[in-house]
Chains A and B, each alone.
Chain A
Amino acid sequence: MLKKIIFFYIDGFRSMKTGRKLWAIIFIKLFIMFAILKVYFFPNFLNTNFANDKERAEHVMHNITRLRNN
């Protein structure tokens, strides 16, 4: 059964025409998104700058209790 399912996918991918180009686009896109953008341009701000949840919560609390006119 498992073998049948695996060959179902393998045959499906082999017989693709337009699909091959689309898979190439998907992989290039995912590579740019996760290996370049996420790593170099979109670090999680709180995870990068603070060591633990307590510090993160304190930072956010500081921001939301800091009024421009207060």
Chain B
Amino acid sequence: MVEQIDLTQVNWARAQFALTAMYHWIFVPLTLGLSFLLAFFESIYVRTGNEEWKRLTKFWMTLFGINFAIGVATGIILEFEFGTNWSNYSWMVGDIFGAPLAIEGIFAFFLEATFFAVMFFGWNKVSKGFHLFSTWMVAVGSSLSAMWILVANAWMQFPTGMAFNPDTVRFEMQNILEVILSPVAISKFCHTTSSGFLLASLFVVGVSSWFLLKGKHQLMAKRSIIVASVFGLLSSAYVGFTGDEAAYTVAQKQPMKLAVMEGLFQGETNAPLVVAGLINSAKEPADTQKPFFAEIKIPGLLSLLANREFGSFVPGVDDLVYGNKEHNIVGASERMERGKIAIHQLKTYKEAGKNGDTATAEAALIAFHEYKDDMGYGYLNNPAEAVPPIGLTFYAFHIMVILGSIFPLVFLLFLFFSFKGELLYQQWLLYLGILSVPLGYIAQQTGWIVAEVGRQPWAIQGLLPVTVANSNLTTGTVQTTFFIFLGLFTLLIIAEISIMVKQIKIGPEEE
């Protein structure tokens, strides 16, 4: 075991976790969204009795099956990493995460063993109504299954409904409803699942566009495009609405994340929203350099979005690092002092307990509780360590928002030309439909980067930084497994794309 904290090892462990999560997130959003599109397609088939809709449903169901089969269980690797690379963290959150992850595991197992089987094997063997019910259950169940993972993630961003027990050294659940229904969990669930609906709609539009360009399966492609464009348009609106809610929640619960998302260094009343900008990467907190080389701003809009009030104050990085008395903001510098007291009192409590000095232990425990909310800051060496990577978070956020603003226009154009009956003549639009598929994945990945890079340096917001959450391992150990995963996941992606492309080329089976 290594006794010193090795930043290189921490960074390799972070890179490994990021790699695994990002690969996993290639598969999940398509599963979430495509499952609902299957339910829509099959509902139309059951309602109309038109066998063409059944053929269409079965085709998309095959692609859904490929994506699901290759992606299934890739998330379990994240749990391996928790136990090996992040053992301090795993121990401390075991009581909180145990319930949601166990529910998710049991839920997913029963869902897959029953309704998935009926959906894939049950054509012509169960009634139309029961088959449709199963398809809907797969769709609803997949989103509910994702909910438990997102609840766990949301708790890391906004730890609530728990208490730290210094005897077991664990955060223990006090109120499961508070954990499940926290504002961060709700906004995260709504925004994340609806972004999956949007991606799947782009996927269906993109593949259908390819069919139209090739002059193949035109009726199926046109019908798929109409349903997917309507769903995509509605999902886009919902993604925008939930995105606004998510940003508001971030502003209230993780103001540092919002500040770096917007590249806001000095807090302002009537703060502007940066629509696009070129970040000055040399800029440090509280120095005199400009944060941007060039930027386009909308005056006052950030205040409105962050606080639902024009003219309100939005804290910047400098305020959150060094404090702002005028606006009652306690900076990381002051919180570091309080955090160090909390850690010192925890250590005193532990040592006094071992020595049987009850009076000292009790006094230390009382003092610990007074300062425990800032405990995580006590591990920082300087206040600027509380600032996440600004450039990466800023650009990821803005790429996500710009792409998210383009997608509804794409769906509108597809609907417009579909209803005019001129879709086949709009080759540029069909190419745009194909291009939108990778753009949808980029939007998904950048969204993940905003959520996770933007909350650094914390494993648990304000309580446990990643440098303390990790295990005492050597760098080489983590590097080895990083490259093993890189190879394994790359093979899986190649398998996904090649099987998917082959199946798309085959097209729907003839009845």
Contacts and interface: CB of A to CB of B under 8 A. Distances in A.
Interface in A52-70: 53, 56-57, 60-61, 63-65, 67-70
Contacts of A13: 121
Contacts of A21: 499
B479 to A, nearest CB: 12
Contacts of A33: 73, 76-77, 80
Contact of A8 (B76, B84, B117): B117
A49 B1 contact: yes
Interface in B1-60: 1, 5
Interface in A15-70: 15, 18-19, 21-23, 25-26, 29-30, 32-33, 37-38, 41-47, 49, 53, 56-57, 60-61, 63-65, 67-70
Contacts of B83: 42-47
A32 B85 CA distance: 19
A26 B117 contact: no
Which residue among B83, B378, B503 has the maximum number of chain A CB atoms within 10 Å of its CB? B83
B128 interface: no
B484 A41 contact: yes
Given A45-B84, A64-B88, A69 B481 contact: no
Contacts of B91: 46, 56-57, 60
Q: How large is the interface on B (under 10, 10 to 19, 20 to 34, 35 or more residues)?
A: 35 or more
Contacts of A53: 168
Contacts of A68: 5, 379, 381
Contacts, number: 117
B350 A9 contact: no
A9 B88 CA distance: 43
A65 B343 contact: yes
Interface in B460-493: 464, 468, 471-473, 480-481, 484, 488, 492
B80 A42 contact: yes
Contacts of B499: 18, 21-22
Contacts of A56: 91
A26 B169 contact: no
A58 B503 CA distance: 54
A25 B381 contact: no
A25 B494 CA distance: 12
A9 B169 CA distance: 47
Residues of A contacting B: mostly? helix
Interface in B116-134: 117, 120-122, 125
Interface stretch (B62-70, B101-109, B139-147): B62-70
A15 B350 CA distance: 63
Contact of B69 (A8, A22, A69, A70): A22
Contacts of B472: 63
Given A33-B73, A38-B80, A8 B480 contact: no
B121 A12 contact: yes
B266 interface: no
Contact of A64 (B80, B340, B468): B468
A8 B169 contact: no
Contacts of A57: 91, 167-170
A38 B122 CA distance: 35
A38 B499 CA distance: 27
B343 A64 contact: yes
Contacts of B219: none
B340 A70 contact: yes
B233 interface: no
A61 B69 contact: no
Interface pairs A-B: 8 shortest CB-CB? A12-B121, A22-B69, A45-B87, A65-B347, A42-B80, A44-B83, A45-B471, A42-B84
Interface of A: 8-9, 11-13, 15, 18-19, 21-23, 25-26, 29-30, 32-33, 37-38, 41-47, 49, 53, 56-57, 60-61, 63-65, 67-70
6 contacts: A19-B120, A60-B92, A61-B346, A64-B346, A67-B378, A70-B340
Given A18-B499, A41-B84, 15 more contacts: A8-B125, A12-B122, A29-B70, A30-B73, A33-B80, A42-B83, A43-B83, A45-B84, A45-B471, A45-B473, A57-B91, A63-B88, A64-B169, A68-B381, A70-B340
